[in-house]
Amino acid sequence: MKDHKGLKVLLIDDDPGILRVMTIALEDEGHEVLSAGDGRSGLELCAAESPDIVITDIRMPGMDGMEVLKKVKEMDPEREVIVATAFTDITYAVEALRLDASDFILKPISEQALAIAVKRARERFATRRDLRDYTALIEERWMETSEELARTFQTQKLLIESSIDGIIAADREGKIIIFNKSMEQMLGYSRREMIGERMLEGLFCAGEAEKFRGALASGNLGGRGRLFLHESWLEGSDGARIPVQLSAAEMFQEEDRVGLVCFVRDEREMRKLTQEVADQVRMLHQDKMISLGKLAASVVHEINNPLAGILNYARLMSKILSRGVFSADSSEKFQGYLSLMQSELERCAKIVANLLAFSRKSELDFGPVDLNELLRNCINLSGHKLALQNIRVDTHLFPELPGIQGDFGQLQQCIINLIFNAADAMPDGGVLTFTSSMEASKNLIRITIKDTGCGISKDDLPYIFDPFFTTKREGKGVGLGLSTTFGIIDRHKGAIHATSQPGQGSEFVIELPANVTTPRA
């Protein structure tokens, strides 16, 4: 990597607009920028140009960003890779960090976040290079005694003490002779307690030292006498179990093993992030279940009416049969009743099918979607709830609206979320207006949902799509409905925005490109 300001940066993303914006931002910082529109051409460019940093989107057609990350690390394990992802795919970002990505940035990407991520990658590369040089120095200049080795280490004190990762060195017997500041902060021991007093293996939790020795001896994770990113547990001064990733190298003088150096990465923040992601996924599902519960209550009443009609027709037919005489007039009535019963049963089946589609938990499954049909289905599913609240529904659907490629079930979830929010804003009744339109010059389809409810304050409006932000009282929502809606629309390469005036209602506008074929990462 270059020592001056400018770096060679390779961008890999299937969205030309994102490539354009990131290229301008990086070139303004003085970096040389290369770009590729897919994973395979990005890897070819990486092999030919040897960039300092690779920034790749996670979700791309063909070869995705996770595969790109693995291939780039196979080419050069020390090349820095930054992954870009949307909030809804944060689990992939966590996995990318475990595969030794330098960092991740969330879409939409700000210039400040991009600059910080590039700066971190550069610093990490420099630290890794210095540590590698330092390990080589130790191997070349290993002294006769541990005291001499410790004195030699003092010349590299600044490097060791400034390392973000913990560094431990042990002599041939396993006694600790180097214990840097990061290790002190990680485990809670002072170097005075460690150096010359404790054995390296004594820092491991029960059973972990044996696993460490076995992994180091196997040569499977770095080669003979070397270990790369081994998952383990160390014990802190307070007895706490601390998850870590260990990289280690045995020191040899000719064929004689004379010591060991370990580089230790604290995994507590990573584990915490993983848990937070799991909690967010759970709460996203909880929010959907809340909506599903409301919807199910509405659907029960919606189905009850046609079932009551079917029951009445069945009783009439039974009464006719009990008379014993089946005339032509009776046959004609039977045909009419059966036709009405069939119509009502089809209505029930359609309502149940829509409810099942809404409740199903699945990945995006793109296919043809008629947005007018989508709106009608959502209105039918929530019709009883709206009627009970004395909410009138007006529809203005563009008759020749073109179809799109999308996930019907998840788009339905977006509309249902907006309908329920509008209903909550009109507890005493009102008007809910649905409009679909087409802007042919931009190949853009618009869906507008407008209510006459209480509205949203000017202070709250900028934050309504943020996760866990809610204006509802406690117990009435977790603040994930609009965040979920935003994420789904974003993955359909669309946009959603809102306007509102307190006391005058709110208007939500969804814009989707008519030719969506691939979800956005």
Residue 86 in this model has a pLDDT that exceeds 80 = no
Per DSSP bridges, beta strands 53-57 and 80-85 are parallel
Q: Taken in order 352, 354, 357, 359, is the CA torsion positive or negative? A: negative
Q: What whole-number distance in Å separates Cα of residue 489 and Cα of residue 406?
A: 10
Q: Give residue 475's pLDDT.
A: 42
Is residue 140 within 8 A of residue 227, CB to CB? The reply is no
pLDDT at residue 358 tops 70: no
* Mean of pLDDT values over 491-499: 91
Range with top average pLDDT, 193-197, 275-279, 315-319: 193-197
- 303 vs 347: CA distance, rounded Å: 8
Q: For 186-206, what is the mean pLDDT?
A: 91
Closest to 433 (Cα-Cα) out of 506, 381, 514: 506
DSSP 8-state secondary structure symbol assigned to residue 175: B
Question: Which residues are bridge partners to 103 per DSSP?
Answer: 82
Query: By the 8 A CB rule, do 146 and 171 touch?
Result: yes
pLDDT at 112 over 60: yes
Indicate the burial class of 155 (C-beta count within 10 angstroms; 0-12, 13-18, 19 or more). Answer: exposed
Assess whether pLDDT exceeds 80 at residue 290: no
Give 484 or 334, the one with higher predicted confidence. 334
- Residue 5 has a pLDDT of 62
For the chain, percent of residues with pLDDT exceeding 90: 24
pLDDT of residue 178: 87
In the chain, the percentage of residues whose pLDDT exceeds 70 is: 80
Q: Is the pLDDT confidence value at 456 over 70?
A: yes
- Angle at alpha carbon of residue 360, lines to 358 and 362, rounded to 5°: 120
Per the CB < 8 A criterion, the answer to whether 336 and 392 are in contact is no
Q: What is the mean pLDDT of the chain?
A: 81
Tokens 């604290």, residue located: 266
Higher pLDDT, 278 or 196: 196
pLDDT value of residue 3: 45
Res 189: pLDDT: 93
Q: pLDDT by residue (tens digit) across 221-274?
A: 667 778 888 889 999 999 999 999 888 888 887 777 888 989 898 888 877 777
How do residues 42-53 score in pLDDT, each as one tens digit? 999 999 999 989
H helix runs in 323-407, sequence order: 328-359, 371-381, 383-388
Considering only residues 473 and 423, tell me which one the structure prediction assigns the higher pLDDT: 423
Domains of the chain: 8-125 (3.40.50.2300), 141-266 (3.30.450.20), 275-513 (3.30.565.10)
Give pLDDT tens digits for 179-188: 988 899 999 9
Note the Cα 17 to chain centre separation in Å: 21
Is residue 282 exposed (0-12), middle (13-18) or buried (19+ Cβ within 10 Å)?
Answer: exposed
Look at residue 52 and give its three-state secondary structure.
coil
Cis peptide before 519 (omega within 30 of 0): no
pLDDT of residue 371: 93
Rounded to 5°, the CA angle 299-304-307 comes to 130
DSSP state at residue 102: S
Band the pLDDT of 58: cuts 50, 70, 90: confident
pLDDT at 479: 54
517 against 269, higher pLDDT: 269
In whole angstroms, give the CA distance from residue 520 to residue 337: 50
Q: What number is the average pLDDT over the span 97-102?
A: 75
Q: What is the mean pLDDT of residues 23-35?
A: 89
The pLDDT value given to residue 445: 94
Determine the Cα–Cα distance for residues 360 and 354; give it in Å rounded to an integer: 10
Both structure tokens of 119: 């700066």
Question: What confidence score (pLDDT) does residue 478 get?
Answer: 45
pLDDT at 95: 75
What pTM was estimated for this model as a whole?
Answer: 0.39
Mean pLDDT score, 428-443: 92
User: What is the predicted pLDDT for the residue at 519?
Assistant: 54
Contact 34, 49 (CB under 8 A): yes
Strand pairing partners for 303? none
Mean pLDDT on 397-408: 89
The C-alpha R_g of the chain, in whole angstroms, comes to 32
- What is the model's pLDDT at position 133? 72
Q: In whole angstroms, what is the distance from residue 77 CA to residue 98 CA? A: 13
pLDDT at 512: 94
Indicate if the pLDDT at residue 285 is higher than 70: no
Cβ distance 128 to 78 under 8 Å? yes
Tens of pLDDT, residues 505-515:
999 999 999 87
Q: What is the pLDDT of residues 302-357, one digit of tens each?
A: 677 678 778 877 887 888 788 776 777 778 878 888 887 887 787 677 667 656 65
The pLDDT of residue 65: 85
Residues 6+ apart with CB under 8 A from 500: 455, 456, 461, 506, 507
What per-residue confidence (pLDDT) applies to 372?
A: 93
pLDDT, residue 346, reads 73
